[in-house]
Structure 1
Amino acid sequence: MMKRGLKLLLAIGLALLVLAWKLPTAAADSVGYSVRAILPSNQDDAQANYFALRVKPKEHQRLAVLINNTSNSSQQYLVSVNQAVTNDNGVIDYSQLKPKLDSSLKVGTKDIFTKGSNQKVTVPANTQKRVYLTYTMPAERLRGIILGGVYVEQVPSKTPKKSAAKILLNNAFAYAIGIRLRESPLTIVPDMQLHQIQAVQINRRNFITANLQNPQPGIMQKLTINARVTKVNSNQTLIRQQQANLGMAPNSNFNFGIPWGNQNLPAGRYTLHLAAKADGQNWQFARNFTIANKTVRRLNKTVLTPAKQPNYWLYALLGLLIAMLLAIIGYLLYRNRREKSAK
């Protein structure tokens, strides 16, 4: 009986090991499709798996991406060519269909790619299909680069309506293939400028944000930012934020956030001290700004109130006082009994 039990436990253990071994493979195959670029002859970076192209003024070219539907059913995909921007996490972002473009951007993807670049494509089950995207370069010679991306997202399959008590969550997965177009091999050095500083609220937490701009048609990589806020004419740091491995798209801007947390903002005059470095370049900014009373009232109404922590010191003190009172009462009762017995 004992041996049969051991054999059963061993069999269950082996089954669990096999299941654990197969789970990662199943998760990897669950996406159901893949996308890759068909690189043309004017690719000027042999190591890149995205479109890194040398182009000419007035040049007209058709690019192709291959969508491979590995699922057992026909699927639809949204394909678009998007301008590269910098999101507020300091990441170069190709996913925004209609991003807010920086004022320094003169020629972007929307200016050179045809309207047919945004399309819905149907790919049968277990089939590959090429999707074509066409651009025409402007007549005027291009300085620096145009940076964008082919963004491919699967259209969710229609599901029956659920009752209010049942909420269905669909996991979305998308591919982005970069497009970098340049007419000259010369690299344009990026730059950084500091613009508006303001108090805002993100997810019910107060932040100071600094708008940082790269006004040049060059990519900024390996960006590190160290920012702190003080009162005007003071060296005492009130809040600080440091981040590394950030990036900025050409001719883009983003809001670098310095969290004030879930504390109330006090009105007043402050100084932002911000240091940044990227690819051997360094920038230093020190600028005064004001948080107005009306801003404080508006933000502090909706800030997430921190949960009150138990006051353990108070509990300990109360416990000690109770113990002392019990000891005194016990002593008094004991003394009273002795006095009665003595009589």
Structure 2
Amino acid sequence: MKRGWQLLLALSLALVGLIWQMPMALADSVGYTVRAELPSNQDDKQVNYFALRVKPDQTQELAIVINNTSDRQQKYVVSINQAVTNDNGVIDYSQVKPKLDPSLKVGIQDIFTKGSDQKVTVAANAQKKVTFTYTMPAKELPGIILGGVYVEQVPAAAKHTTAKIMIQNAFAYAIGLRLRESTRTVLPDMRLHEVKATQINRRNYVTANLQNPQPGIMQKLTVNARVTKFDSVKTLIRQQQSGMGMAPNSNFNFGIPWGNQNLPAGQYTLYLTAKAGSQTWQFTRNFTIADQTVKRLNKTVLAPAKRPNYWLYAALALLIAILLAIIGYLLYRSRHRDDDDDVDDE
């Protein structure tokens, strides 16, 4: 018994050790790290990304360091990207050539004159500094310019194989880049633009295009939206999402899935409430789903998954239990009857 407990303790300690080592092993498997060399005009010393206080007409060289921790030479692509908001409501630094919002007057692509797109080779177990330069406009800008230094490893050339499918992993780092000339905070704002029926990954949605036209970051955004038929109070579809954010001068499409509903052509009304911090916005918008749109969407939509019939499962389980009980009772009676017959024979 004592030996059994010792074996169980040894196995538990081994399992704990394995779990402890897993994050380290996963980190090592990436094969490289990236860090920013923060300059003296960094106005937030608590963060490890570029949060810079700048001046009109200022030119400055910035640098990052790529550390190749692998045992072979690696290649990387470094780009300076404009921060946008993707359709998940997440501030995104990964898009090299994003579609820019019309409200963006001066962006990352306007001020970076050197090193905004580079290909870098780093020797095995070595590091390399990568520099890039920006020049601010002569006229003072309100709010902030937000972007990111995006570093992506170039996958090694795949070896010849007869397999039909090849999967290559590529890892990327994004270092935020925030530039501002004034300490005065510019609050974000929200506007509702086009509302329409569309399809995302072969599933039907009503999307509402939300825009932040101000050079201020929107954080902790919650959106609650519902759709009714025109002149009706009955909610047909709804969606609530929290923990989102919006980059300055950006927009994204907030999606409301149809789910199991099949919205016919007709007139509808969207009711949407958004909250971020102490700010609240409310929108009501009538929109139309055309007959041609419904036909087009239904040609390619995935059939909605049927909800399981839990009542049927419960009834089947009860029936099986009753049958098992009857069988058990019959076996019990048969056994006792045999025992009684044996006694009578004696």
Q: For the superposition of Structure 1 and Structure 2, which TM-score range results when normalised by the shorter chain?
A: 0.7 to 0.9
Within the candidate set 279, 285, 288, 1:287 is matched to: 285
The answer (yes or no) to whether the contact 2:114–2:134 under 8 Å persists in 1 is: no
Is the alpha carbon distance of 1:181 and 1:3 closer, same or farther for their aligned partners in structure 2, counting shifts above 3 Å? closer
Compared with structure 1, are the counterparts of its residues 30 and 56 closer, same or farther at alpha carbon in structure 2 (3 Å cutoff)? same
CA contact (8 A) 1:263 1:303 kept: no
Structure 2 CA distance, aligned partners of 1:77 and 1:246? 30
Return the alpha-carbon distance in structure 1 between the equivalents of residues 19 and 148 of structure 2.
37
Structure 1 residue 192: Cα displacement = 0.2
The aligned residue for residue 236 of structure 2 is 238
Alignment pair present for 1:75 and 2:74: yes
What aligned pairs does 1:1-343 form with structure 2 within 5 A after superposition? 18-165=17-164, 167-261=165-259, 263-307=261-305
Question: What is the alpha-carbon distance in structure 2 between the residues aligned to residue 254 and residue 232 of structure 1?
Answer: 25
> For the residues of structure 2 that align with 1:16 and 1:309, how far apart are their CA atoms?
39
Q: Secondary structure at the match of 1:114?
A: strand
Q: How big is each residue's C-alpha offset from its partner over 1:145-201, in whole Å with a ceiling of 9 and x where there is no partner?
A: 110000001110112132244x23222221111111111110101100000001011
Structure 1, 175-184 or 15-24: larger mean CA deviation: 15-24
TM-score between both structures, scaled by the size of structure 2: 0.84
SS at match of 1:218: coil
Give the direction of change, closer, same or farther, for the CA distance of 1:306–1:189 in structure 2 (3 Å limit).
Answer: closer
Separation in 2 of the partners of 1:13 and 1:279? 46
Q: Please give the secondary structure, in 2, of the residue aligned with 1:225.
A: strand
How far off is 1:128 after superposition? 1.6
Q: TM-score with structure 1 length normalisation?
A: 0.85
Paired AA for residue 64 in structure 1: A
Q: How many residues align?
A: 316
Contact 2:53 2:181 in 1 (8 A): yes
- Give the gaps of 5 or more residues in structure 1: 321-343
* 1:212 aligned counterpart, secondary structure: strand
Q: Give the match's secondary structure for 1:161.
A: coil
| Partner Cα separation in structure 2 for residue 87 and residue 17 of structure 1 | 39
Deviations 1:186-244 (A, max 9, x none): 01011000000010111111000000000001111111100000111111110110011
Shift of 1:31: 0.9
Structure 1 4/68 Cα, relative in aligned 2: closer, same or farther at 3 Å?
Answer: same
- For residues 68-87 of structure 1, give each alpha carbon's deviation from its aligned partner in whole angstroms, at most 9, with x where no partner exists: 11111111111000000000
1:245-292 Cα deviation digits (max 9, x unpaired): 110000000000000025433111000000011120010001100000
Once residues 287 and 112 of structure 1 are traced to their aligned partners in structure 2, the CA distance between those partners, rounded to angstroms, is: 38
Counterpart contact for 1:206–1:263, Cα < 8 Å: no
**Aligned-pair distance for 1:9?**
8.4
Q: Which amino acid aligns with 1:209?
A: T
**Which stretch shows the higher mean deviation, 80-89 or 255-264?**
255-264
Unaligned runs of 5+ in 2: 320-346
Task: Give the 3-state SS of the residue equivalent to 2:94 in structure 1.
Answer: coil
